[in-house]
Amino acid sequence: MLQRLSDISRTRHTWHNATNNVICEPLRFFYPQNKEDIIEIVNEAERNNLRVRAVGSGHSFSEVAKGNDFLMDMKLLRDAGIYESPWVKTGVQNRHFVMADAGITIRRLNRLLDKMGLALENMGAVDFQTVSGALMTGTHGTGIKRPAFPDMVRSVRIVGTGGKLIQIEPADGITDPVFHQSNSQIELIQNDEIFYATVLSFGGMGIVYQLVFEVRTSYYIKERRYLIPWSKLKVEMHNGSFMQMVQDNDFVALRINPYVIKGDNLASVVVQNVLPDGSHSGGRNFLSGFMGNLEPLIENTVKLANRKPKNTARRIQLALKFSKVIKYTDKNFKVLYQFGSAVLRYGISSEFAFEADTNKVIEVFEKIFANTVHNATYSDVYQPSHISLRFVMPSKALLSSAFGRPTMYIDVPTLNTTIGDFELLDSYQTIMMNMGGIPHWGKVNSKLYLNTQFIKDHYPKWQTWVDVRNQLDPKRTFMSDFIQKMGLS
Ligand SMILES: Cc1cc2nc3c(=O)[nH]c(=O)nc-3n(C[C@H](O)[C@H](O)[C@H](O)COP(=O)(O)OP(=O)(O)OC[C@H]3O[C@@H](n4cnc5c(N)ncnc54)[C@H](O)[C@@H]3O)c2cc1C
């Protein structure tokens, strides 16, 4: 092995994800500093018939990032800058493109973009993930006309088999192929199937080292959160006014207490809209924001949930009441960020995609409510958190659970180490999958393992994805146990 590879790697390293439920001890763990390091790692692996995998921030609860041979942490690749002409074709030069290193976190990217007067179109509820990690599992936020990560990216650069540098874009990609060919050592592929297979591929096409986002000029968002009983919300869902609100506002989400208190379930609706200018006013409830960042407080909540489980319903109710926001305006990334950092170690969830349809929301929510009551009365197991609902626009990524249709996501978070946490997530998976819900690739999704028929039934383009993977990775260097368990090998 090259001295350089020894210098940037270690053996006997135990890697675990943020919530500690996925652990592996790879043969070698690398910290590449640039693409040349990644090329050497891939070449070394292929000389020894080993597999290669990258990890981002380890924020997936599923086994998607696990790798037993060569594993690399991308955190030292963390820069971003404008991707501009002459690389960009004429005709798209009035749009904004930013090239980001694979290991940059969303948090750092947001702040760098802000300094450039730019911003992402959307993000998930937190910003701890790396951009490539978020891309590879299809991380989404909310907004029925807003893209998830794979649909904000216009170009991906990977180190592929043989250590080859490849830049992948759609057929009508943003890069000028003639200029590129005469000025770059990187092979440019402009092909729809290859691009839309690669943007959500769990690292299965190669190691992403850079990607280009289409961004927009910086913007402010105004947020309002209000409380509404489920009985009233259900009427709005039945008569179409809730869905109209989802269509009419930029970002809409809701959280609901699965337990009935005073005869009803309480919901908190979050409505956010882009503002033309940046006047700053109000703020989120200070106490809830402050408490959300205190790990000891969450630890106590977990202890309480275990010691006094019967208080769970009231605790969720209180948290929803605290979350009320009359008027809050701030920079986009501050408003879209929804959680305190303390959820990092303790929040763990399964999340399911359905075609956006409020009749389905009612059916699914009422099933969950019935399940929580049954668990509480029958075995004293409690769902320790609210349930949430978010929306996203149709995706072009072949393995996106939002492929080709406006989609809603129902998230059932539990608190890691509360009694019955994983058993609850198991039961939600069974219930939701029977109702047609597609589990999130990055969240607890163990019921998908070896359930090849489910994947085939719910991902119409799965075979194209497999074909592209086989074409890009003939030596199976970027294959993983996760991809095999999903029946995508
Ligand atoms: C508190 C919390 C909140 C969350 N909120 C949301 C949310 O709002 N919406 C949502 O959709 N999801 C959410 N998630 C899930 C999370 O966004 C995804 O699981 C995401 O993939 C994690 O990114 P990561 O950087 O930690 O990547 P990891 O989990 O480390 O890796 C994810 C995948 O990317 C691959 N990968 C990483 N880097 C590279 C690279 N450079 N090249 C090739 N492959 C690579 C890995 O091999 C793995 O397959 C949340 C997770 C947590 C812990």
How far is Cα 281 from Cα 329, in angstroms, rounded to an integer? 5
* Domain 220-448: CATH architecture, name and number where available: 3-Layer(aba) Sandwich (3.40)
pLDDT at 338: 84
The CATH class that applies to domain 3-73 reads alpha beta
Residues with CB under 6 A from ligand 1: 18, 53-60, 64-65, 74, 102, 124-126, 129-130, 132-134, 136-137, 139-140, 202-203, 207-208, 343-344, 347, 440, 442
Contact 125, 100 (CB under 8 A): no
432 burial class (0-12, 13-18, 19+ CB within 10 angstroms)?
A: buried
pLDDT at 160: 98
Two structure tokens written together for 443 = 């969240």
The atom number, within ligand 1, closest to the CA of 339 reads 1
pLDDT at 293: 53
Residue 58 CA, ligand 1 centroid: distance in Å:
7
* CATH, domain range 80-218: 3.30.465.10
How far is Cα 86 from Cα 93, in angstroms, rounded to an integer? 9
Residue 339 CA, ligand 1 centroid: distance in Å:
16
**pLDDT tens by residue, the chain, 489 residues:** 899 999 999 999 999 999 999 999 999 999 999 999 999 999 999 999 999 999 999 999 999 999 999 999 999 999 999 998 899 999 998 999 999 999 999 999 999 999 999 999 999 999 999 999 999 999 999 999 999 999 999 999 999 999 999 999 999 999 999 999 999 999 999 999 999 999 999 999 999 999 999 999 999 999 999 999 999 999 999 999 999 999 999 999 999 999 999 999 999 999 999 997 666 676 776 655 555 555 555 556 666 666 677 888 998 999 899 888 888 899 999 999 987 666 666 789 999 999 999 999 999 999 999 999 999 898 888 898 899 999 999 999 999 999 999 999 999 998 877 888 889 999 999 999 999 999 999 999 999 998 999 999 999 999 999 999 999 999 999 999 999 999 999
Q: Where in the sequence of the chain do the CATH 3.30.43.10 domains occur?
A: 3-73
Residue 228 CA, ligand 1 centroid: distance in Å:
32
Residue 167 CA, ligand 1 centroid: distance in Å:
22
* Protein residue whose Cα sits closest to atom 44 of ligand 1: 203
How far is Cα 430 from Cα 288, in angstroms, rounded to an integer? 33
Q: Where in the sequence of the chain do the CATH 3.40.462.10 domains occur?
A: 220-448
* Protein residue whose Cα sits closest to atom 7 of ligand 1: 124
pLDDT at 132: 98
* Protein residue whose Cα sits closest to atom 13 of ligand 1: 139
Q: Where in the sequence of the chain do the CATH 3.30.465.10 domains occur?
A: 80-218
Claim: this prediction has a pTM higher than 0.75: yes
- Cis before 460? omega within 30: no
Q: Among 34, 129, 293, 391, name the best residue to mutate to test ligand 1's pocket (greatest count of ligand atoms within 8 A of Cβ).
A: 129
